[in-house]
Structure formats: C-alpha cells, structure tokens
C-alpha cells in the first residue's frame, strides 16, 4: 500500500505571544503514518490514566484528553501556553516512546479553529479509514469519559466534546453517511470471502475479547461461520464474549490447539508485543497439512509478526490492508461525506463564533465594573466639591452617568464580539485590560445550543 503524504499543516508559528488559552490537537493517524509508526505511540487502556496524570497540569496544559484507537493517537489539549504545551507532549513522547526529532516532524499540530473542526470530523467519522464507520463515536465518548474520571478535563474540553458528540448525532440523522458505512469488521469479512469464497462452515478463533473483536466476530458468524472459539488472558471476558456469540470460551494457555483447527483467526488483544510469531505460523501451517488459514490482525500495536506473510498458505492482513477492501462503496460514501462535511463546517464555525463571543465576556464584565466604580467615585467627589444635591438632582445625575457607562460598555462589547479574527480580538482585549488595569479572569463558557 502506498504511503500517503500527510494532508495536515504541521507547523504553527510561535512568534506571537498567545494571549488566551487555546485548543490544540497533537497526533498521528492512518493518513500520516504507517501502522508500524502508529503502534509505537499507541496508548493502551492500562497506561491511559497514568498518561493523563502526567500531562494534566504539566506546563501550559490545563486540560487533556487522550484518544487512542487502532488508527490514531491524539493528545487533545486546552493549553494556556501553546509552546509550553507542545514541548510537554514532545518531552513525554521522547521519554516514554523514544520519539526522534524526525518523527516529531510527522506529528500534526492543529490549533484553534483547525483543532475544533478536526475533533468534530473525527467524532463524526469523516476522518476515519472507513468513512462513516460507527465505532469512532463511541471511542471518542469513552476517551472523554476516562479523562473526566481522572479529573483531566474542565469546562472547556467538556464543552468541546459535548458539542462534538452532538454534531456527530446530527451528521448521522441528516445525512446518509451511516447507511453508506463500511466498517473495519465488515472489511475483514470481505477479505475472508476473497480467500475462502464462502464462509459457510468455517471455524473462527477470536484472540481478545474487546469491542472490535466482538463486532468482527458477529460479521463472520452472520456470513456463515459455524464455530467460534474465544480466548483471552482474562478467562471471564472470553466466557462473556463467547456467550454473546454462541461460541465456546478457551483458556488462553490452550489456544494452540484451536489455532491449528481454525480457518480464520481474528486477533485484537491489546498486548504490547506479538502473540503469533513466524515460527508459530509455521507450526500452525504444518498442523493444518496445507489447508489455508486466514489471519486478521486488527490490533494496534499489532498482534501478529508481519514476517508471517512469508509462510506459505498463511494469509495475513493488518489494519492498513483493510482500507483497500472498501473501494467498492467509495462513491456512495463520498457523496454522503460531502453533505456531512458541510454540517460539520457550519457547526464548527457557529461553535467557534460562540466561543469567541464568550471569551470577551469576562473582560467586558470587568470593564463595566471598573467604569461603574469610577462613576460612583466621581459622583461622590463632585458632591464633596460642589455641595449637597437634592434627591431629584442626585437621581438625575445617577441616571445620566449610569447610562453613559452602559453605552460605553455595550459598544465595546459589540465591537469585540464582532471581530472576525481571533488575533485581532486578542489584541483589542489585551489593550483594554492594560489601559484600564483589568484582571485576567477565566472565561465562563456557555455553549448550550
């Protein structure tokens, strides 16, 4: 499969001081990196909470969500200091994954509106290997939930992910992208059909008891597979999945006999190392006496040594190979995706504008309070110098000066909210703060539709 040139803009200028916290996405995915690169930086569930703890509260990072699937690893940040936040993620990848400077150049860094649109596209399955597949929405929701459990999110990322899931639901309801979807499990079944013709009567061994294993196995069974064995390091999980599939659970240490009996082996264990080596495949092939065996590796990191492809009669396909299977439905999915892209673009623009307006509210509130304090002080000073006022005169003076303060505040608010570009809005906001010595309050998000 030809390697695709990354379509993201990788560089962001750090020359301008960032006046406000901002949304950042740093990551690799199936469009920018091969599977052998993606699996190096994959963050499994066993390490996820520790990674969240390391990054949350690190220099420049206020909030963080880590999204790790078979096709992507992304660090989604609400950063108070953009340069420092990127440096912290880079340092983490160097420390924990041996990242090189050349590899860091292959990570995309998306900021502000680009990051927001990207998150909406990912959640709506527009950035998936198989456009329209339904699994990614659940994976995004799960990543957000785990970050919340760790206390790594706050009002900003919570608002972003709540909106992203809402946009995904709208995309599903208003376009045909769901009807045109071809999922990774579906693609795996299509590959199996190419090898065997019909799957009727074929025996299946499932290594791993996760969601992708379940979905893929269900497709195999619905297409004729007759016997399903499930094995997992945690036997209770294998029993649970086998019950759902109408199959049999196998203790992990007894898997070798069933590996030799199975026509199709579906592997997605989440192990950090291979569970089937080339030598294992040679032993399986010998036990099968020349009968072909189809290995589907949908795990990242990969479960099966790529060298297995050199063993005669053993057909191995990994997650990157599955992309080739879905070409037959591309035109239908592209038409649906085009409509979905319009929905996402409108929603991202609307949400970004709302955030831009919300961002200046604390400054306007602080300015109004400052002007109100000045107004009251000046009235009192005037009375001390000019003498007492009658109740009617005091009321009239209060009404006049209060109206002036409201007029100034509302005109400044309107101007700041209507500035189309964030850099200009940031500059004007900072100018107001400096001129009137205003504090730098945290934004109070109000992103409800």
Question: Hey, how many other C-beta atoms are within 10 angstroms of the C-beta on 252?
Answer: 14
Residues of the chain with CATH 3.40.50.720: 184-319
pLDDT at residue number 411: 83
pLDDT at residue number 119: 97
Per-residue pLDDT reduced to its tens digit, 151-201: 999 988 999 999 999 999 999 889 888 765 466 777 778 788 888 888 888
Residues of the chain with CATH 3.30.460.30: 22-180+332-354
Judge contact between 242 and 270, C-beta under 8 A.
no
pLDDT at residue number 70: 82
Judge contact between 15 and 117, C-beta under 8 A.
no
Strand 227-232 vs strand 22-29: parallel, antiparallel, or unpaired?
unpaired
List the structure tokens of 275.
């569970």
Distance CA 155, CA 63 (A): 9
pLDDT at residue number 116: 94
Transcribe 365-393 into DSSP letters.
Answer: HHHHHHHHHHHHHHHHHHHHHH----HHH
Architecture of domain 22-180+332-354: 2-Layer Sandwich (3.30)
DSSP conformation class of 9: -
Per-residue pLDDT reduced to its tens digit, 253-282: 888 888 889 999 999 888 888 999 999 999
SS3 content of the chain, % helix, strand, coil (to 5): 55, 15, 30
Grouping H, G, I as helix, E, B as strand and the rest as coil, residue 320 is: coil
pLDDT at residue number 248: 93
- Please give the CATH superfamily to which domain 184-319 belongs: NAD(P)-binding Rossmann-like Domain (3.40.50.720)
Q: For the chain, state the CA radius of gyration.
A: 28
Question: Hey, how many other C-beta atoms are within 10 angstroms of the C-beta on 12?
Answer: 15
pLDDT at residue number 424: 72
pLDDT at residue number 427: 76
Measure CA of the first residue to CA of the last residue in the chain; give whole Å. 43
Cis peptide before 301 (omega within 30 of 0): yes
Average per-residue pLDDT for the chain: 84
Q: Which positions of the chain have pLDDT values less than 70? A: 1-20, 179-183, 323-332, 356-359, 417-423, 425, 440-449
Instruction: Enumerate the active-site residues.
Output: 70
pLDDT at residue number 352: 80
Judge contact between 82 and 92, C-beta under 8 A.
no
Distance CA 220, CA 238 (A): 17
């Amino acid at each position: 499969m030809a390697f695709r040139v990354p379509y993201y803009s990788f560089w962001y200028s750090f020359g301008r001081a960032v006046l406000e916290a901002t949304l950042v996405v740093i990551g690799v995915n199936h469009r920018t990196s091969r599977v052998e690169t993606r699996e190096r930086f994959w963050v499994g569930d066993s390490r996820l909470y520790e990674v969240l703890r390391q990054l949350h509260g690190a220099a420049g990072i206020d909030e963080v969500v880590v999204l790790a699937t078979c096709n992507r690893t992304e660090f989604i940040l609400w950063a108070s200091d953009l340069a420092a936040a990127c440096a912290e993620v880079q340092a983490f990848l160097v420390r924990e994954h041996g990242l090189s400077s050349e590899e860091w150049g292959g990570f995309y860094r998306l900021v502000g509106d680009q990051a927001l649109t990207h998150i909406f596209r990912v959640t709506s399955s527009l950035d998936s290997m198989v456009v329209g597949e339904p699994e990614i929405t659940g994976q995004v929701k799960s990543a957000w939930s785990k970050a919340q459990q760790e206390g790594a999110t706050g009002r900003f990322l919570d608002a972003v992910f709540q909106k992203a899931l809402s946009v995904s639901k709208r995309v599903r309801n208003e376009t045909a992208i769901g009807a045109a979807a071809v999922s990774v499990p579906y693609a795996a079944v299509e590959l199996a059909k190419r090898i065997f013709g019909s799957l009727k009567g074929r025996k299946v061994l499932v290594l791993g008891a996760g969601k992708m294993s379940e979905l893929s196995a269900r497709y195999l069974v619905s297409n004729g597979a007759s016997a399903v064995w499930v094995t997992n390091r945690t036997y209770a999980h294998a029993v649970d999945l086998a019950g759902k599939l109408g199959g049999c659970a196998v203790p992990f240490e007894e898997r070798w006999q069933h590996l030799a009996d199975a026509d199709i082996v579906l592997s997605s264990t989440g192990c950090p190392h291979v569970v089937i080596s080339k030598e294992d495949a040679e032993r399986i092939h010998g036990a099968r006496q020349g009968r072909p065996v189809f290995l589907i590796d949908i795990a990242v990191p990969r479960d099966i040594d790529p060298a297995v492809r050199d063993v005669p009669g053993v057909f191995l396909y990994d997650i990157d190979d599955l992309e080739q299977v879905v070409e037959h439905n591309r035109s239908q999915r592209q038409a649906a995706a085009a409509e979905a892209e319009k929905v996402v673009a409108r929603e991202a623009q609307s949400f970004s504008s709302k955030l831009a307006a919300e961002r200046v509210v604390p400054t306007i509130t602080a300015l109004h309070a400052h002007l109100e304090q000045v107004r009251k002080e000046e009235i009192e000073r005037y009375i001390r110098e000019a003498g007492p006022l009658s109740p009617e005169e005091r009321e009239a003076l209060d009404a006049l000066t209060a109206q002036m303060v409201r007029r100034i505040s509302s005109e400044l608010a309107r101007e700041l909210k209507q500035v189309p570009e964030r850099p200009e809005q940031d500059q004007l906001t900072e100018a107001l703060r400096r001129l009137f010595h205003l504090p730098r309050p945290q934004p109070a998000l109000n992103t409800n539709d």
